[in-house]
Amino acid sequence: MSELLDFATEHYILSTSWVIIVLLLIANLVKYRFSSVKVLSPQEATIATNRNGVFVDVRSEEEYAAGHIQGARHIPLEKIRAGETKPLEKFKDAPIVFVCNHGNQAKTAANIMAKQEYSEASVLQGGMHAWRNASFPVSKKKTTGKKAK
């Protein structure tokens, strides 16, 4: 025990950094655990959207055009932050799965919508990266924003 204290005293910057990292990890786990937003695998997301739900792609126009989930509505994160969410009003009580490249922007969008009482806002875990790795279909066509049947 005294060796640990000696190390911590001699390397206080390293020790402090380690403690901060551990605290941040714990805070992130607690935040994730108590979040009202669900994180869904590609398979779970497909099942959810098949229950009259919708995928919402929050990436940039260029990223969306490079490949997106067929039938996904394109509403960039900036528009969601600005409150331009009228196209989603009919999905207030239906599953909405937010999609980005890896899931970070989608989490932000889903949290915004959950605060506006969208009861089934969720995130595609791993984003388009996970979708492609699961060998799910990707469309490069520009959609009209209507859900594919």
Global pTM reads: 0.75
Catalytic, out of 37, 58, 77, 100: 100
Mean pLDDT of the chain: 90
Where exactly are the structural domains of the chain?
A: 2-32, 37-133
Are 76 and 99 a contacting pair, CB within 8 Å?
Answer: no
Ranges of the chain with pLDDT below 50: 144-149
64-107 tens-digit pLDDT: 999 999 999 999 999 999 999 999 999 998 999 999 999 889 99
Residue 21: its pLDDT value, please? 97
Tokens standing for residue 29? 């786990």
Q: Sign of dihedral through CA atoms 104, 105, 110, 113?
A: positive
113 is annotated as an active-site residue:
no
Q: Sign of dihedral through CA atoms 32, 34, 93, 118?
A: negative
CATH fold for domain 37-133: Oxidized Rhodanese; domain 1 (3.40.250)
